[in-house]
Chain A
């Protein structure tokens, strides 16, 4: 068996073990109220088991990481698949660190699924290891990307704890205006997560089905070609159908991308976004139907009895731990590498700007909290928003803006 295949196997193992860990964390938290048991004792016993399993998953994930490094001959962070799977590993590492400090079993119930979703998202991208292009052949690739990802992972844990704080403290029965707004905020955050799951689910469903349609577009006497892996609801601007696989009686695209969406891939990306939102909404509607109430209100009781102050503290602490790491990895090391590779330490490339935006945002968070006393809900909302900025920096910039950092073929 080749080393890279061995590595892929461990990627799958890690993924499955995390899923088991997630279920165990669920049992640990929800089983407290089961009959014939002491909640304290139950939490302790199952919490320990869950942490053991998520740590086993991390071990498998580390085996994936290092065998892929050895097999490909370079650190596996050079394309979207590799980066996202490394990020999910870093999130589990950050979770482990925070868990060792605070011993809050419930944190696993929220941190582990974030890693699972990011891992599944990673697997959407082409998984082949490819050799490095000249600009990536540098020692700095290792330190810049890993440190940046680790810092962002602590922000992810901050998001998990902050979001838990909100689910715990927002008054879901109140009809008051400010409470209603917070209820909607929680619901929107949950919906965003469901949309991401919807995206991943639809990509996999059509991949298994082997779906493909092809369009060509002629612009300035240059013909470009694009393959759709999801049924084209929207076609690229002024394009011709080369082949069209019908789907549910849909024999042609429903409409065409607007003219300001430049390039043939813009149409495909728009189509992907439409599919993700559609699939997400359907999934959300199904869950709502089963639960018969908003998701936030359904999750709220699970967190009953949890110390809100501790969650507030964990949110703050993981951001405080992540901030210096992020500064070093995503800004200082990035500047040093940019100076060596491109001759300028800062070039206002979109990725650089968004790393700066992330940094500025978290520095606002810290100032508001340390000097202006923003704690509790306000601070938790900032932690949630901050992680959305992080994800936009990592994924959105490549998808929407692109620039010098678009090494990875985004889907």
Chain B
């Protein structure tokens, strides 16, 4: 406060109104405050109607300085331009997030050479998650809040404090001015023009021989409402980073299987996956006969279950209750209380689900018995006739590591393999190891017979064999669904809706004010609008025509080139 007083300037206007420091035009009568401004004959600076803003304090402290920084439109424009340039750089090469699994450190140099390496090293391969980009967005958010507060309050005050009879300087230095000599009685003329203005939607206030007509003031709030919408939007987007508000996983669902959705109590079953292609008749001439396949439909008939009991207990079957069922298509996800399942991808290669092999004595070819082997969930022990098969190890995608040891190279059942320990009559008490590859192709590729001969030596007396396709169970296709929870979405839409409302208010309506004062037969008319001067000039011409004054639209223009 003290610095304010020390640097006290006379801000009292001749009309008797005491204005705050920083005021450009008197809040009441509109007369310019500063001496230089009073002597000038240039157009008035009408931004915020000449009100003082917080950011214009004469001796700013630390908080004021931060406030001033963020309240500057210039700074805001710089931040927007930086965001714009940053966004551009991010589109030079695909972002890391485009790919589901890649090693970025090798992908970029391998695909794009040196440029790719530099791109990766600069961190541009994840531009939109980088600290500087997020910081820019946060700063734009801060600027939105502070800019709006800095301007909206003074503007509100300015528009509600109004004196109808304005100072002559205020009027003649507007962008739209019309002056003429009046022959009629002043009050009669004023009364005549009132209905003409009202007909055009103006609210008219008179004070003797002075008049103020105003319409669509709400349009002035448009930008601020837009900014509120953007703030809500940005906050919602930032909140998505908080734990528990956002879930995003891509899962494979083979046809006919119920699979749990990790980190939820839900299970989803892919009842049937359908992919349809357009027939030749549907395709345009130039596609015909070229063997082009154009997909028509991807659909997963899905059923969603909720686990009600025994969910975490591996020894018990979870108890599932069906809660929803929906044919998921690309533009039509399953939605159960905010948990959404989107069609993402599919694979029509059949996947082996289970086999029912027979245990066969090699020498005699005798069939000892059958058992059903579930590829994904095999049991620990199988009893076949007098023999016991203990499962020692399972490999979903069989392969060898660098040390020559068998490993599973992926969790997908591409090349399933099982190591059993067989015990029973004619075999050593500790049992005999036996490797089993259910897929015929893997049997040959990994040389099952040779492995088993090495493992069992003289006791390689048995083998597992599948007799006919009836003992093999395939799932015909797999669908990939994107499972999502996004709790902030309502706020994203709310922010967008508010922002849109602000845009429409601000751009499709304009705040228009017309002031008239008559001094002993000298009529002065001035007008101000925040946008569309062409429109207000035209409107004034039409209104003046109603009181028999022919004025050329263009002649109302007082020069200058304000928006």
Contact = CB atoms under 8 A, between A and B. Distances in A.
Contacts of B492: 335, 345
Contacts of A137: 329-331
Interface in B482-498: 482, 484, 486, 489, 492-493, 496
B460 to A, nearest CB: 40
Interface in A370-403: 370-373, 375-376, 397, 401, 403
Nearest to A314: B534
Judged by DSSP, the binding face of A is helix
A324 B81 contact: no
Interface in B61-98: 73-74, 76-77, 80-81, 83-84, 87-88, 90-92, 94-95, 97-98
A130 B237 CA distance: 37
Contact of B84 (A317, A343, A349, A357): A357
B84 A131 contact: no
Nearest to A319: B507
A29 to B, nearest CB: 20
Nearest to A312: B561
Interface stretch (A37-45, A170-178, A359-367): A359-367
Interface residues of B, number: 70
Contacts of B73: 367, 371-372
Contacts of B486: 344
Contacts of B329: 134, 137
Given A102-B534, A135-B331, A137-B330, A403 B94 contact: yes
B342 interface: yes
B482 to A, nearest CB: 5
A262 B112 contact: yes
Given A102-B534, A131-B294, A403-B94, A364 B563 contact: no
B54 interface: no
Contact of B330 (A134, A324, A332, A348): A134
B287 interface: yes
Nearest to A359: B84
Given A133-B294, A347-B97, A332 B342 contact: no
Nearest to A347: B97
A324 B333 contact: no
A267 to B, nearest CB: 16
A134 B331 contact: yes
Nearest to B250: A343
Contacts of B343: 134
Contacts of B561: 309, 312, 375-376
B340 interface: yes
Nearest to B237: A346
A361 B508 CA distance: 20
A341 B484 CA distance: 12
Contacts of B84: 357, 360-361, 364
A193 interface: no
A405 B92 CA distance: 16
A316 B507 contact: no
A128 to B, nearest CB: 3
A394 B87 CA distance: 16
Contacts of A309: 557, 561
Nearest to B282: A131
A375 B111 CA distance: 46
Interface string B35-50: 0000000000001000
Interface string A304-327: 000101101100110011011001
Interface string B321-344: 000000001111100000010111
Given A309-B561, A320-B531, A342-B342, A348 B113 contact: no
B87 A126 contact: no
Contacts of A363: 80
A152 B533 CA distance: 24
B302 to A, nearest CB: 14
Interface in A326-361: 327-328, 331-332, 335-336, 339-350, 353-354, 356-357, 360-361
Contacts of A349: 98
B296 interface: yes
Nearest to B297: A134
A243 B110 CA distance: 31
B284 A128 contact: yes
A324 B504 contact: yes
B541 interface: no
Contact of A343 (B92, B97, B112, B333): B333
A381 to B, nearest CB: 15
Nearest to A351: B91
The 8 A-B residue pairs whose C-beta atoms are closest, nearest first, are A128-B284, A343-B342, A324-B503, A138-B331, A134-B330, A371-B73, A350-B91, A360-B84
29 contacts: A128-B284, A128-B286, A131-B278, A131-B283, A133-B296, A260-B112, A260-B113, A317-B534, A327-B503, A328-B500, A342-B482, A343-B248, A343-B342, A343-B344, A344-B248, A344-B484, A348-B127, A348-B128, A350-B91, A353-B87, A353-B91, A354-B91, A360-B84, A360-B87, A367-B73, A370-B563, A371-B47, A373-B563, A401-B92
Given A134-B298, A341-B331, 20 more contacts: A128-B287, A133-B294, A134-B295, A135-B330, A137-B330, A262-B112, A309-B557, A309-B561, A324-B503, A332-B496, A335-B496, A340-B332, A340-B333, A353-B91, A357-B84, A360-B81, A360-B83, A364-B84, A367-B80, A368-B77
